[in-house]
Amino acid sequence: MPDNLAWPPPNVGRALLIFGVAVAALAVHAVHIGGADAHSHEMMMSHRGAPSPIVRDQRVGPYLASVWTDPEVGHGPMYVVLEAADGRAFTPPSAVRVGVAPVSGRLPEALHDAHAEPVRRGGRFMTDVMFDRAERWNLRVVIDGSAGGGQLTSQVNAVPNVSTGPFVLVLSLLPFLAVGVVWWRAAVARRRTVAL
């Protein structure tokens, strides 16, 4: 046995196997509890860039509202997170709508209905919004329901994402280049070795 096999010790392999099986089981469980679509969407978004809060705990009627998004140019999710204000019981609103319009006024406001997502506390509503240019946008969230409602307004800067294009393309090409170089160098070295 080569001396490099002295570490890691054999029980590490067993521990890793148990860990892997446990995580795989959790993965299967996670996809099947409470609606696979919602959860898979949530997890997919974690691979697409994290949203950040634009508005935090702003009072809107009986709710404390937070708004989260990843404000890159293009289509992207917008989340409205609601909690009951003043320690009262949470009553879900009947409708949450999100409106976006460029501050410049070059486009009319686009109003989107947000749909409820499964959460264990308070409420979370999601909709896709479109920022077609990197500029400052007005944001309006309208909440209606039997417990009351209201609206909040804010602004958000849509940021360009064009710079990531060449980066992603080059990054995705590099592995093929690297493997090609290694394969070629190894072939040359092997030919020399065999020739000895």
Q: Give 6-19 as a 3 state SS string.
A: HCCCHHHHHHHHHH
Nearer residue to another protein within complex by CB, 52 or 105: 52
Number of residues that bind another protein (CB under 8 A): 65
Bond preceding residue 8 cis, omega within 30 of 0: yes
Residue from the set 96, 124, 139, 158 that interacts with another protein by CB under 8 A: 124
For the chain, what's the residue count? 196
Helix 10-32 with 36-46: angle, nearest 10 deg: 130
- Taking the C-alpha atoms of residue 136 and residue 145, their distance in angstroms, rounded to an integer, is 30
Answer yes or no whether residue 119 interacts with another protein by CB under 8 A. Answer: yes
Question: Which tokens in the block code for residue 138?
Answer: 């007005």
Nearer residue to another protein within complex by CB, 60 or 81: 81
Bridge pairing between strands 52-60 and 63-69: antiparallel
Nearer residue to another protein within complex by CB, 66 or 143: 66
Binding site for another protein (CB under 8 A): 2, 4-5, 13, 16, 19-20, 23-24, 26-27, 29-31, 33, 36, 39-52, 66, 68, 70, 74-75, 79, 81, 117, 119-121, 124, 126, 164-169, 171-176, 178-179, 182, 185-186, 189-190, 193-194, 196
